[in-house]
Amino acid sequence: MIRLVPDHSARIQRSEKVPFTFDGVALMGCADENLAAALMQAGVLHLRNAPGDGAPRGAFCMMGLCQECVVFVDGQSVESCRLTVSPGLAVKSRR
């Protein structure tokens, strides 16, 4: 089939995978990759529960504004779309 837009997926080289955790569950992610992207890649989309109805929520704006992707690192809330993966990073959610 003719493609006007080539498939580049095989040509992307990434850093080595390092372990990190999400609510204690061991995950692997590329070192220095954006945390929201790494979680998405690891199949973790549900990052928190909404106040009120408790509905599951995940990253939305990807630019640090909507606060839907907020997680806790060292007790401090941070936007996962503004954080990167590092070895041993322990991410907690308020799910």
Partner 1 sequence: MSENHDIAIIGGGIMGCAAALRLASGGMAPIVLDRGDLGQGASGVNAGTLSLQIKRVRLMPYALKGHEEWARMGDAVGFRRTGGYTLAFTEREAELLTERQTLKAEAGAPIEFVTNNQVLSAEPNLTRRVLAASYCHEDGYANSSLTGQYYRGRLREASVPYRERCAVTSITRDTQGFVLHTGGPPIKARRILLAAGAWLKPVAAMLGVDLPVNARINTVSVTERMPPLFATVIGHATGLLTMKQKGNGTILIGGGWQGRGTPQEGRGEVIADSLIPNLSLAQFALPKLGQARVLRSWTGFEANVPDFYPLAGELPGVPDAFVLGCVRGGYTIGPYIGRLMGDFILGHSPEMPLFNPGRDFEKDAT
Partner 2 sequence: MRDIVDISIVGAGPAGATAALVVGQTECRSLLIDEQRQAGGQVWRAKDRSILSAPATPESRSGDNLRERLAASGVSQMTDTRVWQIERQGEHWVIHTLRNGTAGRLYSRAVILATGAREEAQPVRGWTTPGVIGLAGATALFKQSIRLPGRASVVAGTGPLVFFVASEIRRLGGTVAAVVTPNTRADWLARLPSMMARPDLLWRGGRWVADLMLASVPIYWGHAVKSVSGDDRVIGVTLCRLATDGTPLPGDIGIAADSVCLGGGLAPSIEAAQLAGVAVRYRPDLGGWVSEAESDGSTAREGLFLAGDSCGIRGAVAAELHGQIVARTALRHIGQASASDPALERAYRRASRFGEAMTALSVLRADPIGLATPDTVVCRCESLTRRAIEDEIESGAVSSNAVKSGQRAGMGPCGGKYCQSSVARLIALQENRALSEIAPPTPRPPIRPVPVSALAGDFDYGDLPMPKPAPL
Give the number of other Cβ atoms within 10 Å of residue 61's Cβ: 12
Q: Which of 41, 36, 30 is nearest to 70 (CA)?
A: 36
Q: Which of 29, 43, 52, 48 is nearest to 92 (CA)?
A: 48
Q: State which residue, 40 or 81, has the beta carbon closest to partner 1.
A: 81
Q: Is 50 in the site for partner 2 (CB under 8 A)?
A: yes
Q: Which of 6, 24, 51, 88 binds partner 1 (CB under 8 A)?
A: 51
Q: Which residues bind partner 2 (CB under 8 A)?
A: 1-15, 30-34, 37-38, 40-41, 45-47, 50-53, 55-68, 70, 76-77, 81-82, 84-85
